Chains A and B, each alone.
Chain A
Amino acid sequence: MAKKTMNRHEMPIGSIIKDPGCSMQYETGGWRNLKPVHDNKKCTNCLLCWIYCPDGCIKVKDGKIAEFDLKYCKGCGICAEECPDKVKAIQMVEDKK
Chain B
Amino acid sequence: MALSLKELSKKEETFVSGHRLCAGCGAGTTFRQILMAAEDPVVMSVATGCLYVATATYPYTAWKCNWIHSAFENSAATISGIEAAYQSLKRQGKVTKTIKFIAVGGDGGTFDIGLQALSGALERGHKFLYVCYNNEAYMNTGIQRSGATPMGASTTTTPAGSASYGKPVFRKDLTGIVAAHNIPYLAQTTPAHWRDLMTKVKKALAADGPSFLNILSPCHRGWRNEMKDSINLARIAADTCYWPLYEVENGEYKLNYIPKEKKPITEWLKPQGRFKHIFAKGGNSAETGSTHRSGPNQELINKLQANVDKEWEKLLKKCNQGDKKPDLETVGT
Contacts and interface: CB of A to CB of B under 8 A. Distances in A.
Contacts of B230: 76, 78
A33 to B, nearest CB: 9
A13 interface: no
Interface stretch (B19-27, B180-188, B257-265, B311-319): B19-27
Nearest to B68: A16
Interface stretch (B1-9, B83-91, B199-207, B247-255): B1-9
Contact of B20 (A28, A50, A56, A78): A28
A63 B6 contact: yes
Given A19-B61, A53-B29, A28 B17 contact: yes
A76 B24 contact: yes
B229 A24 contact: no
A37 to B, nearest CB: 15
B interface: dominant SS:
loop
A65 to B, nearest CB: 10
Contacts, number: 124
Contacts of A63: 6, 9
Given A52-B194, A54-B26, A75-B23, A26 B15 contact: no
Contact-residue bracket for chain A: 35 or more
A63 B32 CA distance: 18
A95 B195 CA distance: 33
Interface string A6-35: 100001000101011111111110011000
Given A23-B18, A47-B5, A52 B60 contact: no
22 contacts: A17-B59, A17-B60, A19-B61, A21-B16, A22-B59, A25-B60, A47-B9, A48-B5, A50-B9, A51-B29, A54-B23, A54-B25, A54-B26, A54-B27, A54-B32, A56-B15, A72-B17, A78-B24, A80-B228, A81-B228, A82-B231, A82-B232
Q: Which 4 A-B pairs have the closest CB atoms?
A: A54-B28, A76-B24, A23-B18, A74-B23
Interface of B: 5-6, 8-9, 13, 15-29, 32-33, 55-56, 58-65, 191-192, 194, 227-232, 333
Given A17-B56, A21-B63, A77-B227, 5 more contacts: A21-B62, A23-B55, A50-B5, A51-B33, A54-B21
